Amino acid sequence: MEVAVPMATQVAADRVSGVTARRFLGGMFLVNLILAVSTALVCLVTSGRGLALGVVTGGLIGAVNLFLLGAVVVRLLTPGARKVVPAILLAIKFVVLMAALLLVIKVLGLNVVGLAVGFSTTVVAVFISSAVAMARGRGISI
């Protein structure tokens, strides 16, 4: 026999349970990409292709970096997880990030200001995602 849960009760249960950290990271990644593409479109119209390409690249690198950082931290905070592996992953992620930045600046010659603007969308994405989670009254669980 199934018992129907009233809608208000389900909403209240959702508010208490919150969202998982992985889902929050995924949403923040999506917000970051939307901000980077939107900013790049504005730059394309106002400043040209070079700046816009730098913004998209910086936004993408920043979004992937934040997502990977969050995934490693979630793994690090998971009860019973080994702590050495996430620490090694963080070091590897840092080296890969620096190599990617070196590649796009030195080899591809992308606009450095555009890269900085693209990376800035990551900070805005963190604020927006956190504000939305707080406004919904939901916690974030590991």
Amino acid, single-letter form, for residue 67: F
Q: Is 77 domain-assigned? A: yes
Q: Is 13 domain-assigned? A: no
State pLDDT tens for residues 98-122: 999 999 999 888 999 999 999 999 9
**Which residue, among 113, 115, 121, 116, has the nearest Cα to 37 in the 3D structure?**
121
Q: Is 42 domain-assigned? A: yes
- Map residue 48 onto helix, strand or coil: coil
State pLDDT tens for residues 29-59: 999 999 999 999 999 999 999 999 999 999 9
Q: Is 14 domain-assigned? A: no
Domain encompassing residue 81: 20-141
Angle value at C-alpha 113, between 109 and 118, nearest 5 degrees: 100
Q: Is the pLDDT of residue 12 over 60?
A: no
Q: Is 4 domain-assigned? A: no
Q: Say what percent of the chain tops pLDDT 90.
A: 50
What pLDDT is attached to residue 34?
Answer: 95
Do the Cβ atoms of 141 and 19 come closer than 8 Å?
A: yes
